[in-house]
A and B are shown apart, each in its own frame.
Chain A
Amino acid sequence: MSALLQQFISEAQDLIEQAGAALLEAEREPNDKEPIDELFRAMHTLKGSSGLLDVPPFTMLVHAGEDLLVSVREGRQQLQASDLDLLLDCCDVLAEWISGLEDDGELPDSAAGVSKEKSSALRARIVDSGAAAPAAAEPAKPAGPGFAVVGAGLSADVIAAARAAAGDAPLVAIRYQPDEQCYFRGEDPVRIWRDTPGLVGWTLAQRDAPSEKAEFDPHLCKLVLSGLSTAGQVELENAFRYVIDDVDFADMPADGAAPAGASDQPPAQPADDTAPAAEGARPQARPTKSLGPNAVPDRTELFLDLLDGQLSVLDACESDDTLTPGRIDSVEQLLLNNAGEGGALAAHAQTIKQAFDSYRSQLELDPLRLAMEKLVQSLRQNGLPGKEAAEIPAAEKKEAKASNGKPAQKSRVLKVDEAKIDVLVNLISEFSVAKNALPFLARRAEEQYGLRELSRELKDQFTVVDRLASEMQSAIMSVRLLPVSTIFERFPRLVRDVSRKLGKSIELKLLREDTEADKSIIEALGDPLIHLVRNSLDHGIEPPDDRVDAGKPETATLTIEAQQESDQLIILVKDDGRGINPEKVKSKAVERGVITAEEAAEMDDQTAVNLVFRAGFSTADQVSDLSGRGVGMDAVRSQIQKAGGSVVLESAVGIGTTVRLSLPLSMAVTRVMTFGVCGALFGVPMEQVLETVRVATEDLVSIKESEAFLLRDQLVPVRRLSRLLDLEEEDGAHDQSLPVLVVRTNNGPVGLVVDSFRERVDTILKPLDGVLSGANIYSGAALMGDGSVLLVLNPRSLI
């Protein structure tokens, strides 16, 4: 797959997701313009980037979507509920195509047909501008900007030469300012310009040229072409028909006077790289799209951030560094750029100049830093002068725009193939193991060769390497962290669709979506969460009428909340529905043979409602007769357990149900309790260990064939690990007391008799492969510091 396609796929996935979220937002807040703008931006970008690839159905569909949104943005129409449905539908189709592209490298065969159908459906909804906006709205176009504006880019010389060349023929001034993104649509303005009919004189200029060479982006078109032609406007319009929005025409007055712009301001040839003539000549033509009217405070913030950036540059300067003078100069230049007339720092021009001048005479950095800090502080307190948004010069404008839009993201977020991170994880884990060989080496140096001094130095070095390794490990692990919002974001759509279908009114609250956890954990959460949410929607939450009868608000609330508790990620799925009736669950469980009638009689309500997680409890047919929960709850539990987590349900009849999932934040590093059995070393993941006890042999009670002991009044069954693993027992290993490891299983605590307890280790568990991969009594294997292999048991399958 080409790099371009790959990038497009990952970008498109993000954009389609954004569009989906914006659509839902637009539905909630019909009067808010922001979601529409966002939606438009997403469609627009999709159109642009898909145009680079050979996916015409895709481009056609997003183009239709964009056109509809343009009409909405221009106020010609409002998005109706059915429009939103259609757009959502289109997003689904797009997402489907993208995954098709990812898998097969091409769109499905049906794409062209689907695109045609959906595009025409979308287009059918566009209120025709001609019909809806009568002639009154049009006059702007025929009048257009006058010659003074269009011809502003032409110098007197060019005009004179053109006059001479044209003779008596009337001249039309053309100004062609291609859209920045035009290369991405396959446009080549120079080629269009070359074919301009009747061109007798022309010039080109750049606009918004960056001050730093490194910032120049050759993929953004920043040219303005101005010219004079003897061809008529109609002919010219035809020549520029594909880019007509980017072109202005104006008849040149017959008297041949230079354009007003050229006579009362410096000649059109821009005096410097920032080309103010071209920009200034077209004040209203191209409002910055990404900045709404309420963006001003953000821009203040951005500007202050920019200044902060300069401060940190100053902070980083060392007096004896050869780079310092250059850095200082560039900071000064930036500040002074903003200190010109009307600039954001105009009031401080003097201060800035003085500070830098005194630095140059004394070469003392501290006073300069102090002065600049003061300046930033006072700006922070007092804000920027009134119209700062309009005053920030072009270079900063670009900066501000970049921070609001896509390009900045590009530079800050690095998309890395997961496999590469996994390589890092593997390397660091092997490194952690390898470094553990150092203490062994140190011991050998001392004991075998009598080199105490060397041994001590080795140990010193080891502490350094150890610290670095653990820092490196946490740094690498943090790369794999994802916010839970990555799975939460699918729920607004799910809840909307399901609640509509069921005729229920449900408000979804997503709380603390920014909580982060390892990617593998986040991924493991996806399916179980969908199950839980669906269950709540289907069965937990009552129909509106029932809710009103029960005295509850008609709109139900479903809350999905994430939180971090020490090293656990907790997800709560909470509804205020009808709750689960423990008695019903009990009778169902007895009926299904999950528990006996005696057990049911003794069972408290909390334990009873958790019976829904038991295998064998849930089958599809009881969905409707039980108060809801049922389908796949044991699947939920097993998936969560597989990821090393646990799940608990709490419910109160008539009030609601809460399911609490808890998972480790990271799966990569597992704490393992190690112990010896029959001369071999084994381990059990720490989260499954309840406690370690020594049990006197006489305290063991035999019940039929099995053994048990009393642990704080609770009868705990005991198993001999040596027998479970079929190992040869050493004679007389346990005379008086047995070391017992009490572990958590699905059926309550179980004691495992081992030979001795060993230390607790942090390891990276590797799943077993080859012939052992089917042996599910092991969770995996880990390398120990001395190079030996530790087998880690999975007590749940073992017992």
Chain B
Amino acid sequence: MPVQIDGQTATLTDSCDVSEVLSFAEWLLATDDAEIDASAATHLHTSFVQTILFHKPKIKAPPTDEFLNRLLENAQEVGQ
């Protein structure tokens, strides 16, 4: 499972597909102080990027992939 949710932390691994974004977004909506571990993500579907951009969770571990990292950094900046 590319998206694994454990309490307040969601771990995104490999390629996160649009089919999983709804549960992810619902979790973000329902969880205060949500944290994201994206260190093992190789690709995030646009919908994930947008959802993170909107809900602005804390990025506990940024993606190692440079492009994704830049994307989320960018998302954080824009979101604030």
Q: Which of A211-226 contact B (CB under 8 A)?
A: 213-214, 216, 218-219, 221-223
Q: How many residues of A contact B (CB 8 A)?
A: 24
Assess the B78–A270 pair: CB atoms within 8 A: yes
Shortest CB-to-CB span from A433 to chain B, Å, is 42
Complex-state Cα separation, A189 to B47, whole angstroms:
9
Assess the A203–B78 pair: CB atoms within 8 A: yes
Shortest CB-to-CB span from B65 to chain A, Å, is 9
Residues of chain B within 8 A (CB-CB) of A188 are: 18, 45-46
Interface of chain A: mostly helix, strand, loop or mixed: mixed
Q: Mark B20-54, 1 if CB is under 8 A from A, else 0.
A: 01101100010000000000000111110111011
Does residue A632 face the partner (Cβ distance < 8 Å to B)? no
Assess the B50–A214 pair: CB atoms within 8 A: no
Among the listed A194, A222, A269, A273, which residue makes an inter-chain contact with B50, where contact means beta carbons less than 8 Å apart? Answer: A222
Residues of chain B within 8 A (CB-CB) of A194 are: 67
Does residue B75 face the partner (Cβ distance < 8 Å to A)? yes
Nearest A residue to B54 via CB reads A216
Does residue A209 face the partner (Cβ distance < 8 Å to B)? yes
Complex-state Cα separation, A688 to B8, whole angstroms:
67
Assess the B49–A269 pair: CB atoms within 8 A: no
Does residue B4 face the partner (Cβ distance < 8 Å to A)? no
Residues of chain A within 8 A (CB-CB) of B50 are: 206, 218, 221-223
Assess the A218–B24 pair: CB atoms within 8 A: yes
Q: How many residues of B contact A (CB 8 A)?
A: 24
Assess the B46–A189 pair: CB atoms within 8 A: yes
Complex-state Cα separation, A447 to B71, whole angstroms:
82
Does residue B77 face the partner (Cβ distance < 8 Å to A)? yes
Question: Which of B45, B71, B77, B78 has most A Cβ within 10 Å?
Answer: B78
Does residue A412 face the partner (Cβ distance < 8 Å to B)? no
Assess the A218–B67 pair: CB atoms within 8 A: no
Once A190-B44, A214-B29 are accepted as A-B contacts, the answer to whether A204 and B78 lie under 8 Å apart by CB is yes
Does residue A352 face the partner (Cβ distance < 8 Å to B)? no
Q: Mark A248-272, 1 if CB is under 8 A from B, else 0.
A: 0000000000000000000001100
Assess the B24–A269 pair: CB atoms within 8 A: no
Does residue A240 face the partner (Cβ distance < 8 Å to B)? no
Complex-state Cα separation, A222 to B51, whole angstroms:
10
Q: Mark A177-216, 1 if CB is under 8 A from B, else 0.
A: 0100001000011110010000000111110010001101
Complex-state Cα separation, A269 to B22, whole angstroms:
27
Does residue B55 face the partner (Cβ distance < 8 Å to A)? yes
Among the listed B18, B21, B22, B74, which residue makes an inter-chain contact with A204, where contact means beta carbons less than 8 Å apart? Answer: B74
Shortest CB-to-CB span from B44 to chain A, Å, is 7
Interface of chain B: mostly helix, strand, loop or mixed: helix
Complex-state Cα separation, A582 to B51, whole angstroms:
74
Among the listed B45, B54, B67, which residue makes an inter-chain contact with A206, where contact means beta carbons less than 8 Å apart? Answer: B54
Complex-state Cα separation, A270 to B80, whole angstroms:
9
Shortest CB-to-CB span from A147 to chain B, Å, is 21
Once A183-B18, A204-B74, A269-B78 are accepted as A-B contacts, the answer to whether A190 and B25 lie under 8 Å apart by CB is no
Among the listed B22, B45, B51, which residue makes an inter-chain contact with A190, where contact means beta carbons less than 8 Å apart? Answer: B45
Assess the A218–B77 pair: CB atoms within 8 A: no
Complex-state Cα separation, A206 to B49, whole angstroms:
10
Assess the B78–A178 pair: CB atoms within 8 A: no
Question: Which of A178, A204, A218, A223 has most B Cβ within 10 Å?
Answer: A218
Complex-state Cα separation, A270 to B47, whole angstroms:
20
Q: Mark A220-245, 1 if CB is under 8 A from B, else 0.
A: 01110000000000000000000000
Among the listed A202, A203, A221, A269, which residue makes an inter-chain contact with B47, where contact means beta carbons less than 8 Å apart? Answer: A221
Complex-state Cα separation, A204 to B49, whole angstroms:
10
Residues of chain B within 8 A (CB-CB) of A189 are: 46
Nearest B residue to A203 via CB reads B74
Shortest CB-to-CB span from A262 to chain B, Å, is 15
Using a CB–CB cutoff of 8 Å, the interface residues on chain A facing chain B are 178, 183, 188-191, 194, 202-206, 209, 213-214, 216, 218-219, 221-223, 269-270, 273
Other A-B pairs beyond A209-B54, A218-B22, A219-B47, 17, CB < 8 Å: A178-B46, A183-B18, A183-B47, A188-B18, A204-B78, A205-B78, A213-B29, A214-B29, A216-B55, A218-B21, A218-B50, A218-B51, A219-B22, A221-B46, A222-B50, A223-B53, A270-B78
